[in-house]
Amino acid sequence: MSTRLIPDELRAAGGRCVAACHAFNDLSDVRSPHERVRRWFNLDASTLIPFVQAPVRREYVLRMNIHPSAFVDRCCIIVDTPTAGALVGARVVVGLGVCMYAGDRGIVIGDGALIGGGVIIIPYAPPQPRRQPEIEPEREGEEKPDDETQIEGRETGEPVSDEEMDDTDGEENVEEYIVEEVLDSRLSGEGLLQYSVRVGGGYATDPVWHPKKPGPPEDFDIWERAFTGDG
């Protein structure tokens, strides 16, 4: 590389480094530790300020700490506040046109981080837990349609009241209550006798529990004979 291409600052730094190395290497006969430390620090030319390219924009400059070994490229915008700022660690490289918004929590960039150009940095906010939808409690005692209640009563074998079975005055119900066999009996919820029967007319076992008087008066003698076994 031609010396004309080397900037003056680098050329001067190289000259100072060569002189400091010679001075430190000549300490073979010097036994004072203080002199060795003093000449060693002449070799350590660490910068005391970070390398920040212009232009740069900041708000308050109250809580800003950039490590001396960090590099900040041009057009960096740092929006700090009186209560929160930004901390840039060692060996951090901030690209072109990066925006930092401190907000109320502040920004911390760890050591050795590489921030690409055009990045927007905001304070970290932990994810909020999702709110579970409220489940509506089941309403107890919800009324069901009359036909559904009656069907469930038949299927589960619940007692049937006399009022529920008192719809047998018409002629269309005569054949339904011609009893062939009485299978079982029990007390209803109102304390009345009910019977499980096998009806005539080609029907199988009737799942309905019937009261003692199932139909019109002319069919009562058929019911009694079947129940007592005289039929």
| Tens of pLDDT, residues 89-140 | 999 999 999 999 998 889 999 999 999 999 999 987 676 677 777 777 666 5
User: Does any domain span residue 132?
Assistant: no
Rounded Cα distance between 52 and 78, Å, is 12
Residues 80 and 116 in one domain: yes
Percent of the chain with pLDDT over 90: 18
75 φ/ψ sector (left φ>0, alpha ψ -120 to 50, else beta): left
User: Does any domain span residue 133?
Assistant: no
pLDDT at 158: 53
User: Does any domain span residue 206?
Assistant: yes
Count of structural domains within the chain: 3
User: Does any domain span residue 31?
Assistant: yes
pLDDT of residue 68 exceeding 80: yes
pLDDT at 166: 46
Residues 56 and 108 in one domain: yes
Residues 14 and 68 in one domain: no
More confident residue, 86 or 34: 86
User: Does any domain span residue 213?
Assistant: yes
User: Does any domain span residue 151?
Assistant: no
Per-residue pLDDT tens over the stretch 180-226: 666 677 777 776 667 776 665 544 555 666 665 555 545 555 555 65
Contact indicator for 91, 52 with CB cutoff of 8 Å: no
User: Does any domain span residue 128?
Assistant: no
More confident residue, 90 or 152: 90
Residues 63 and 117 in one domain: yes
pLDDT of residue 76 exceeding 90: yes
User: Does any domain span residue 135?
Assistant: no
Nearest to 185 by CA among 209, 221, 149, 161: 209
User: Could you list the residue range(s) of the whole structural domain that residue 8 is in?
Assistant: 3-43
* Euclidean distance between the first and the last CA atom of the chain, given in angstroms as a whole number: 129
pLDDT at 95: 95
Chain-centroid distance of CA 36 in Å reads 62
Residues 13 and 67 in one domain: no
Residues 84 and 23 in one domain: no
Residues 16 and 73 in one domain: no
Rounded Cα distance between 84 and 104, Å, is 6
Mean pLDDT over each residue of the chain, to the nearest integer: 71
